[in-house]
Chain A
Amino acid sequence: MNRDIERYLNRATKGLAGKKRSEVKEELRAHIQEKLLGYQVAGLNQSDAISKTLSDLGQARTLNHAMLLTYRKTPFLALSIGFILLSFGLFTLINRSHTQSLAVTNIFPSSLCLENTPRSNLLECHPGLDLWVHSDDLKRVLESQGVTFNMKSQTKDWEIPFPDQKKTLKDWRTLNIAEASTSEGYLSFWSIIKDLSFDHTVTITDFYPLSFDIDGIRLELDLPESGLDFIKPIVGESVNAMFSSASKQSDLSHARQIVDVAEDGMYASVSGLNFHPALLDIAASQNRTVSILFSGHKSETLLKLENAIKAGRLDYQILSPEQYSLHQ
Chain B
Amino acid sequence: MSDNSLLRGNLDLILLSILEDSPKYGLEIISEANLRTDGYFSFKEGSLYPALHRLEKAKLVKAEFAPSDSGGPRRRYYYLTEAGKKQLTQKRAEFETFNSKVRALWGM
The residues of A with any CB-CB pair to B shorter than 8 Å are 12, 23-24, 26-31, 33-35, 37, 56-59, 62-63, 66-67, 69-71
Contacts and interface: CB of A to CB of B under 8 A. Distances in A.
B49 interface: yes
- List the 4 closest pairs (A to B, CB-CB), nearest first: A58-B46, A66-B50, A27-B76, A63-B46
A30 B45 contact: no
A-side binding surface: helix, strand, loop or mixed?
helix
Interface stretch (B12-20, B66-74, B81-89, B90-98): B66-74
A325 B85 CA distance: 52
Contact of B26 (A23, A31, A37, A58): A31
A31 B70 CA distance: 13
Contact of B72 (A30, A59, A69): A30
B54 A57 contact: no
Nearest to B28: A34
A70 B53 contact: yes
Interface of B: 25-27, 44-47, 49-50, 53-54, 57, 65, 68, 70, 72-76
A70 B54 contact: yes
Contacts of A27: 26, 49, 75-76
Contact of B50 (A26, A59, A67): A67
A59 B54 contact: no
A255 to B, nearest CB: 28
A58 B48 CA distance: 11
B72 A37 contact: yes
Contacts of B53: 24, 67, 70-71
